[in-house]
Amino acid sequence: MQLIIIYLVGVVFGTGIVVSGMANPAKVINFFDIAGTWDPSLAFVMGGALIVTAVGYRMVFGRARPLFEGRFVLPTARNLDARLIGGSAVFGVGWGIAGFCPGGALPALGTGRIEVILFVAALLGGIFAAKFLQNLSRPKAEATS
Amino acid sequence: MIETAFTPLTSAFGGALIGLSAVLLMLTIGRVMGATGVLAGIFAPSSWQDASWRIALLLGMVTGPTVYWLVAGQMPEITVPVSTPMLLIGGFIVGIGVTYGSGCTSGHGVCGMARLSPRSIAATLTFMATTAVTVYLVRHVFAG
């Protein structure tokens, strides 16, 4: 029963993504192409999502715990380190080249389009490569600390 | 370059649905709606239960276009204005970036920003800037 509800939450996300235009690389790239064929629509995606999430989170965090779990799992890191900024900068380069971000591409898989499948395969390749590199560097980091 | 129509209302409505799903995921299982985290976690789940909610959520996401098709009578428009090699290179770079950056547009840009997390605000400003620079370089400098 809980899994069905989580599935439906995914349906809401996926529908929102395709309605908003985030799954359409032409629209995403045009949002950033202020000097060319600019389409400011994605600012409205961000605005709509942020307003609903900010208000909704406020209400949810008024509860002691989520409905199905014992506690809220929130990121605890606070520091602005090179890994966060560098990784985000690299992500932006890839997003600008391909026009898909992970949240846009995953729902778009449901269209069965070959371009989306290729992007997600490459995305997974990048994720595995980065995890592999992180695992290589981790023992070294522990040894020096 | 392909023109796309300015769609403030449908985009804001889609954004509101994205926000609603983020709120519902936090309400039900207390988790952040981040596409990167949900996807990456499937390959290294901490338990069977941890894998199951990620898979259920992902299956729901993939159903989105079908819901769109049922309501609108056509599949959502997806126009890919880049070549296949660029798509693959871009995808690989995105995978590296979101892993080191601990998140993407949904996790940092929506959930983290809504919580006013300094890390997410810094991450979002950073990737928005590098995306804009990349698009400018690809479209107006190298394509020149």
| Nearest one of B110, B123, B91 to A86, comparing CA atoms | B123
When CB atoms are compared, the residue of A18, A36, A125 closest to B139 is A36
Q: Do A13 and B33 touch (CB under 8 A)?
A: yes
Q: List the single best residue of A24, A37, A53 to mutate versus B (max B Cβ within 10 A).
A: A53
Give the tens place of pLDDT for each residue, A98-124.
999 999 999 999 999 999 999 999 999
Give the tens place of pLDDT for each residue, A36-63.
999 999 999 999 999 999 999 999 999 9
Q: How many residues does chain A have?
A: 145
Q: Report yes or no on whether pTM surpasses 0.80.
A: yes
Q: Do A88 and B130 touch (CB under 8 A)?
A: yes
B33, two tokens: 């709606």
| Nearest one of A45, A41, A22 to A31, comparing CA atoms | A41
Portion 9-28 of A in contact with B at CB < 8 A = 9-27
When CB atoms are compared, the residue of B2, B19, B134 closest to A52 is B19
Distance in angstroms (rounded) separating the CA atoms of residues B59 and A14? 9
- B5-37 burial, b at 16+ Cβ within 10 Å, e below that, comes to eebeeebbbbbbbbbbbbbbbbbbbbbbbbbbb
Is residue A56 within 8 angstroms of chain B, CB to CB? yes
Residue recorded with tokens 């040894």:
A143
Interface pTM (ipTM) of the complex? Answer: 0.96
Tell me how far CA of residue B1 lies from CA of A25, A33, A36, B25, B35, in angstroms: 12, 10, 8, 37, 28
A39, two tokens: 């389409």
Whether the CB-CB separation of A40 and A19 falls below 8 Å is answered with no
Greater model confidence, B44 or A14: A14
Q: Domain boundaries in chain A?
A: 2-144
